[in-house]
Every structure is written in structure tokens, then in C-alpha cells.
Amino acid sequence: MPHTTSPRAVPLHADDWRVCVAPMMDWTDRHCRYFHRLLSPRARLYTEMVTSAALVRGKQLRLLEHSQQEHPLALQLGGSDPHELAQAARFGAEAGYDEINLNVGCPSDRVQSGRFGACLMREPALVGDCMKAMRDAVSVPVTVKCRIGVDDQDDYAGLQHFTEIMLEVGVEVLAVHARKAWLQGLSPKENREIPPLDYERVYRLKREFPQLMVVINGGITTVEQVCMHLAQLDGVMLGRAAYHDPYLLARLEHALYGEPLPTRESVLQHLRTYIEAELARGTALKHISRHLLGLYQGEPGARAFRRTISEGAHLPGAGWALLEQAFAPCSVAA
């Protein structure tokens, strides 16, 4: 049975998107998200982008696997067919996701060839059709992650028009990467670094559309920067900073909510049960441990921690003992 159409069936709260960890291909898998949840009880976590075709035509519902500990958790979809996206959104809601997010920001060639991602910034009416179809299909929030523009579409008017259409179809949350995307000539990595950041354009969007919940993404690496943006906007979405320095998430919990700072060793000890359960079901340690490499970023012993894991996690039989070996010198240094 389809879900009842109700744009506010799940009430939105101001704090729900205050701190988010961005969807990142090849990084924010279920192991990464479980780890991040231990560091941040409140952050909103996002899956890697899953294409609607993989779910609907490919029947790869295994891509929706996650643990209950990961919530609040959003499923990010990629696609441009309203009917297909609606079905994929329905699968996501039925699997228990708290939000369905549409990718309108990824600039990779592979994404463009499928007519989704950042190239959809040029087709706001189509994005509107997609969002309406998804909102009609599910009762959880349906949101958009976009750029401030693409290629020569580099003025506020383009972002303003895109936002107006999103509001017309009932979108209430917009996550904006504060850089435009160059669809030709720059790699995805270069698109994260070369186009200049324009935070003021995102601030202006919030001022002109105060009814919209606006979350900013791009180049945010410190607690101080997060607090600066939260003075203007509803939320901040961290990307690579949260991955390469995951303890930043714990520092944010401390700064914004007064949570005691956990020791890094205690975070790993809390992860032990999860790791041992995953090993028992056949998951190789390397698939989990690769997400832990930045935990001691900037701390004494960080290099040895990374080296021990990198050199040993792929070996047959690698398990919890390797992680104990990795963090023991760091604990002594602390």
C-alpha cells in the first residue's frame, strides 16, 4: 500500500538538521555511519548516493541495509525519473529511513550521463516534478541537496528561481553546497576545491525565504566555523572534515549541546561489539577500519595508529586485536 500523502506527517524541528554529515560516495557506508553515530548522538547522517534505477530496476534493496543505531538517517537518491524516484523513495521509507534526499549537486561524468546530479540545476521544473512525486509517495521529509549554480549559471537569480520551484512543490529543507559546479573541465575533486565558496549567497537565500530550512555545506572544518554559520542558517553539513577528522563530531556535540567529550579509546571500545558481530557475519575488518584512520588526527601517535591499521587490516584473520594494538600507544601518549 502506498504511504498517505502528507507533507507534514513527520513534523520538522529546527534542531533536526543543525549538524549533518554529508553523503559521500565510497565513504559514508553503514560502517562509517555507525562509527560517526558513536561520536555524535544527534548529527543527521546520510547514505552514499543510491540511484533510483538500482533500487527499482536492479532490485538491489540490499543497498538500503542499515542498523537502528544509525538514526536519524537519510537516504540520498540519484535520478531524474519522477515515477522511478517515487518508487525508490517508497522503498526507502519502508526500510525505515527518516528522510529521502535528492542529489542535485554531484558533478561527476558518470552522474551527468545518467541525467542526474548537478546537471539538474539546469532543469528546475523537472526537479520539481521529481520532488512532488516523491512527496506524494512517502510521509517522511523529502529534501534536496544542490549547488549554488552550474557552469555559466552563476548568479543569484538562478538559485532563487530553483528555490521558488522547490517551495512551490512543498520542499521544506534545502542543503546547499556553497560552490557552483563546473560540469566540464573539472574533476569531482576539483569541483570540491576550485570553484570559490560563496557563503553570502546561501545566507541571502535564507533571508529571502525564511520559511525554508537552509543547511550549508562546503569548506567547513572547525567548530568555530560551524557556530558562525549557525548564527545565520538552520544547519551545517560537514563533508570531508567529518571523515578525515571524525572526532570533530564529538567536539561539536560538546560545543553545541554540552555533551562530555568521550576519549577516543572509549569510542573504539564501544565499537568493539559491532566489529566482532560484523566479523562473525563475514565482513572483513578492512571494510570497517578504513573509516577509523582519522580518529587520532592531530594527536600524538596518530601516524602509528594509521599505519598499524593500514598494514594489518587486510590480512587474513585481522580482528579486534589489531585495533587494540593500534590505539595502545595513543592511549599511553594521552
Categorize the per-residue pLDDT at 11 as very low, low, confident or very high, splitting at 50, 70 and 90.
low
Which residues make beta-bridge pairs with 50? 77
Residues linked to residue 181 through DSSP beta bridges, in sequence order: 150
Among the listed residues 39, 42, 16, 38, the one whose alpha carbon sits nearest the alpha carbon of residue 257:
42
Better pLDDT: 133 or 115: 133
Distance CA 103, CA 89 (A): 13
Chain-centre distance of CA 302, in angstroms? 25
Looking at the DSSP bridge assignments, the partners of residue 146 are 104, 176
Which of 106, 119, 130, 330 is catalytic? The answer is: 106
Q: What is the mean pLDDT of residues 53-81?
A: 95
Separation CA 299–CA 326 (nearest Å): 13
**Would you list the DSSP string of 55-121?**
HHTS--GGGG---GGG-SEEEEEE---HHHHHHHHHHHHHTT-SEEEEEE----HHHHHTT-SGGGG
> What is residue 318's predicted lDDT score, i.e. its pLDDT?
95
Confidence check: pLDDT of 232 > 90: yes
For the residues 44-48, what does the mean pLDDT come to? 98
Is a pLDDT exceeding 60 seen at residue 8?
no
Query: How far apart are the C-alpha atoms of 6 and 139, rounded to whole Å?
Result: 6
Of the chain, the end-to-end C-alpha distance in Å amounts to 55
- Per-residue model confidence (pLDDT) at position 111: 55
Q: Give the type of residue at 274.
A: Y
Least confident of 191-195, 200-204, 221-225: 191-195
Residue-level pLDDT at 14: 64
Domains of the chain and any CATH numbers:
14-257 (3.20.20.70), 264-333 (1.20.120)
> Does 1 score more than 50 pLDDT?
no
Residue 67, C-beta contacts closer than 8 angstroms, at least 6 positions apart = 30, 34, 274
190 backbone φψ class: left, alpha, beta (φ>0; ψ -120 to 50): alpha
Residue 259 sits at φ, ψ, to 5 deg, of -65, 140
Annotated binding-site ranges for FMN: 23-25, 76, 145, 177, 217-219, 239-240
Q: Looking at residue 332, what is its pLDDT?
A: 63
φ/ψ (deg, to 5) at 237: -115, 115
Cβ within 8 Å of residue 316, ≥6 positions away = none
Residue-level pLDDT at 333: 59
Cα separation, 73 vs 97, whole angstroms: 6
C-alpha cell at 223: 567548530
Whether residue 153 is predicted with pLDDT greater than 60 in this model: the reply is yes
β-partners of residue 109 are none
Task: List Cβ neighbours of 66 (8 Å cut-off, separation of 6 or more).
Answer: 30, 33, 47, 73, 95, 96, 97
Residue 6: per-residue pLDDT: 38
Q: Give catalytic status of residue 106 as yes or no.
A: yes
Among the residue ranges 104-108, 210-214, 292-296, the one predicted with the least confidence is 104-108
Nearest-5° Cα angle at 300, 303 to 265: 90
Binding residues: 23-25, 76, 145, 177, 217-219, 239-240
